[in-house]
Structure 1
């Protein structure tokens, strides 16, 4: 991608574990920020999550860690010891952004005083990602992507538009830490707002990111419905808009019921069967009320066609229809290939692998993977030397527990 690295003048200290904080750091690093990842001596917990390159579990071969931490430098510090806190304090004094992911009580127990760090570096943006926020009655509660997902109301909508018996079919959990990625992108966006403010008006900020609040923003449509009629809050109830349905060689998301002309197009696609001519189906409300009668016919018809047949037939007839892709099918997508979305990365331990690339394309900004995820402690000596520590001082630091 042509252009210059937009954030090449920023130094970011990322003292965060797992997904949300590291994803925030990754988004900044991929646009050129010098992100220094601080890990405990045992490493980030993501290093222990598969899949692993070559199906061989190893701290340097976790797919999740390799993706979330490319373009970063990595150091190890033991924040349970005063020597580790001393180094972190010096790093923050020379940084533009500090990313943390612990409640204030846990940070203070370690000796990390956010207010003191901000006083020592008036331009510092401190971004703190926690499940429930830095304040409030839940501020010290533990949580993870699944608790955030459920407490934000997103779980109440899962699976969306499928459930016929709300009492006996409970909400589901997502298959991945989706809530953490939403929290991370919210944190990165908010951090850049704070940086922009600093560039215009001066002064750093505390960016307090609540995972629950970040994710609640993604159920805003149903929340707006609730504001006018509490009985409408839901989203899992069986709906006539669209469904994921099985076909001869996979699945499609099919949404032919909502508008009258979609319905008439579907009738043509199916050969205008007699059952579909019932006048009760001529209106949207009629189809909604009778979706349980319509759906079995449509599902049976779809099983006689391949996914591509249904997709192109729907495109021709202007009916919403989308193939449900697996990861391997996304990798082979001609659209993603044409845009150069997937990129190849070379890592000294994990070898060569492909990972998702830029989430957006910009004409004036450079996005690139310039370095793979760091090996555990790979840049510790380098970063400490930049802080002014001599070789003997570095040895003494780690002898003292850093």
Structure 2
């Protein structure tokens, strides 16, 4: 497929799980040749099916495909002399290196930024960290459950004070980190092509979460009770940006951040014109001491109509809202399909599954092909051959365990 902006760029990835591999997957969508280097046992994401309620089937691995579509895979034992030599030959051909190892193992392996920059000064190094590269906790293990949700200020504060913390969704923080890193890597790649000098791009789960909540985190410094999360929902400064339950048990999120503009329109639409200029609730500065009373009233009002009735009423008055969809309905959302959020993947075992595309689309490039992620070691022989190894040498590397070929059982 022509007209993709990163054609001719080679990315070497040595990363596991979600965030860093997702960055490389996005670069593959943009046309880069992405070579994933996996250890003999493979990326652990290949084996997380039970966590996600899926059958463990390498021919139908939706999680792995989501983060690794469009890549090729070479499997090397880089702890062996021969495997490390093959890795160095590969890195010498790369424009970008993507990694998420912790710093101590990186330095012991000689794959840290300083070492690689000295060898390959044009190389752009994209690095995902749990907590960043400086500070007392820089070497802690980091997952989105911990570094992003918990320590990053999402899990504890962003809940109703009387409720349990939310059920975290695996990959939520990772995908945000991935796109943050992609932005940085693309900027560094542009610089490298202009100047011949690579750069070290670092994105952490912790910092990304803090960035995500930064608007209200900053505002909390002024001490208003409407910013002191966790709180009871009625304490929020604007009750017109909350989610309300309808008569048929659905939840409707309204979004009217300009309270003084939207409040009179909503009151008239709901059939209470006398409340449109009620001094207890309008303008917004008058609402603050009366929030609990108003919250109880509007909560009860939303339970008097079905979700469909509310949708028609809000549509008729051009008031913004959305139904809080569950996943079954989201997978069938006509707008999501029409706007190319989804792709139907056909697997070699005969099954079809809905997969999600990265959220950046290009008009001139068009939609990139959605190719499944590579099987472990699927292109080991091809990549080694391109690096100059003879067929005999490749066979010897595989025989010694320095390189791993694909499981023959996975051949379609």
Could you tell me how far 1:105 is from its partner in structure 2?
1.0
Tell me, yes or no, if the aligned pair for 1:53 and 1:61 is still in contact at 8 Å: no
Counterparts of 1:154 and 1:54, CA distance in 2: 25
TM-score (ref. length: structure 2) = 0.86
d(CA) in 1 for partners of 2:342 and 2:56? 24
1:137 alignment counterpart: 136
Residues 267 and 273, structure 1, Cα contact 8 Å, conserved in 2: yes
The answer to whether the Cα contact below 8 Å between 2:343 and 2:356 also exists between their aligned partners in 1 is yes
- In structure 2, relative to structure 1, the CA distance for the partners of 1:137 and 1:347 (3 Å cut) is same
C-alpha distance in structure 1 between counterparts of 2:145 and 2:14, whole Å: 22
Moved more, 36-45 or 229-238: 229-238
The answer to whether residue 189 in structure 2 is matched with residue 190 in structure 1 is: no
The yes-or-no answer on 1:281 pairing with 2:281 is yes
State the Cα deviation string for residues 242-272 of structure 1 (Å, max 9, x = none): 2222221521102458523422233233322
Q: 1:220 aligned to 214, 233, 244, which one?
A: 214
CA contact (8 A) 2:12 2:35 kept: yes
Report how many aligned residue pairs link the two structures: 395
Cα distance in 1 for partners of 2:313, 2:399 equals: 69
Greater CA deviation, 211-220 or 281-290? 281-290
Runs of 5+ consecutive residues of structure 1 not aligned to the other structure: none
CA–CA separation in structure 1 for the residues paired with 2:227 and 2:104: 35
- Alpha-carbon deviations, 1:64-115, whole Å to 9, x = none? 1121111111222233433332222221111011111012211123343543
Q: Which residue of 1 aligns with 2:344?
A: 344
C-alpha contact 2:77 2:83 (8 A) present in aligned 1? yes
Conserved 8 A contact 2:26-2:358? no
Q: Which residue of 2 aligns with 1:6?
A: 5
Partner SS, residue 182 of structure 1:
helix
Match of 1:30 in 2: 29
Equivalent of residue 208 in structure 1, options 180, 202, 207: 202
Deviation at 1:208, TM superposition (A): 2.2
| Separation (CA, whole Å) in 2 of partners of 1:260 and 1:132 | 41
Q: Is structure 2 residue 290 aligned with structure 1 residue 290?
A: yes
Cα distance in structure 1, aligned partners of 2:50 and 2:323: 25
Partner-residue secondary structure (3-state), 2:362: coil
Equivalent residues of 2:21, 2:67 under 8 A apart: yes
Quickly say closer, same or farther: Cα 1:53–1:392, change in 2 above 3 A: farther
Q: Secondary structure at the match of 1:345?
A: strand
How far did residue 376 of structure 1 move?
1.8
Name the SS of the counterpart of 1:389 in structure 2: coil
Contact 2:125–2:201 (8 Å) recurs in 1: yes
Please report the TM-score for the alignment, with normalisation by the length of structure 1: 0.88
Q: Could you tell me which runs of 5 or more consecutive residues in structure 2 were left unpaired when the two chains were aligned.
A: 403-412
